[in-house]
Structure 1
Amino acid sequence: MNSNSNKIQNPETPVMKSSQMSDRDFLNDMLTTEKYLTASFNYAINEASNQTIYQDLMRISEDVHQCQRDLYNTMFANGWYSLTTADTATLQQSYQQFEGYKQQLPLH
């Protein structure tokens, strides 16, 4: 199957090719940074032993996650971020794998 037929992508907004960073380059850099920050905040939240710090980290994390989502939406809208659809066999395999995990959990 042609890999392009599996892509979900908007028409790409053209950017000038040059040695300087384009809007796409800046957005991609910011998105990568926000993804790193969201992961880091998740670790910090899980490790917070003080309730006040935990709540502060949660509020900041929500803002960081929203910023990451906004950057993703902007890149996707401009055709600078694409997704690949999963075929039915892959989805079924994942489903069966997690059903197996579910069967291993103790019943409460």
Structure 2
Amino acid sequence: MNQNQPSNKIQNPETSVPKTPQMNERDFINDQLTTEKYMTGAYSVALNEASNETLYQDLSTIFKETQDCQRNLYNLMFKNGWYAVEQAEQPKIQQSYQQFNGYKTQLPYSVQ
């Protein structure tokens, strides 16, 4: 990468892990993070489909715990430099804002 160009990535310094055929700490955490993301999606569907209030409340509690676990794993990976995010450019932010702000006029009632 050219050092004169600003980086669009936001990332901590990467914690090194052994590069072997066996799974390392990063591999295990990444696998757990992927599983938690999948589970939060599945719980979200289950919450939408639950017709029993007690079941809904139980699923809601489990969903929150799973979502918190997912967030903690993401934070751990980010802290160790194993997960980077792209910095959004101001024109793209403004374009998205204008696009979604325009959707408000299509709603049956004003959301302002």
TM range (shorter): over 0.9
**3-state SS in 2 of match to 1:39:** helix
Q: TM-score, normalised by structure 1?
A: 0.94
Structure 1 portions without partners, runs of 5+: none
Moved over 3 A (4+): none
The answer to whether the aligner puts 1:26 opposite 2:28 as a matched pair is yes
CA distance in 2 between counterparts of 1:16 and 1:32 reads 21
Aligned partner of 2:94 among 73, 92, 103: 92
Match of 1:41 in 2: 43
How far did residue 93 of structure 1 move? 1.2
Higher helix share: 1
Question: Could you tell me how far apart the structure 2 residues matched to 1:35 and 1:48 are?
Answer: 20
Partner of 2:11: 9
**Partners of 1:73 and 1:93 in 2: CA distance:** 29
Q: Secondary structure at the match of 2:20?
A: coil
Residues in 1 aligned to 2:52 and 2:103: alpha-carbon distance in whole angstroms: 33
1:34-87 CA-to-partner distances (Å, cap 9, x unmatched) read 000001100000110000000000000011001101100110000000100111
Residues 50, 4 of structure 1: alpha-carbon distance in 2 compared, 3 angstrom cutoff: farther
Identity level (%): 60
| Structure 2 residue runs without a partner (length 5+) | none
Q: 1:58 is matched by which residue type in structure 2?
A: S
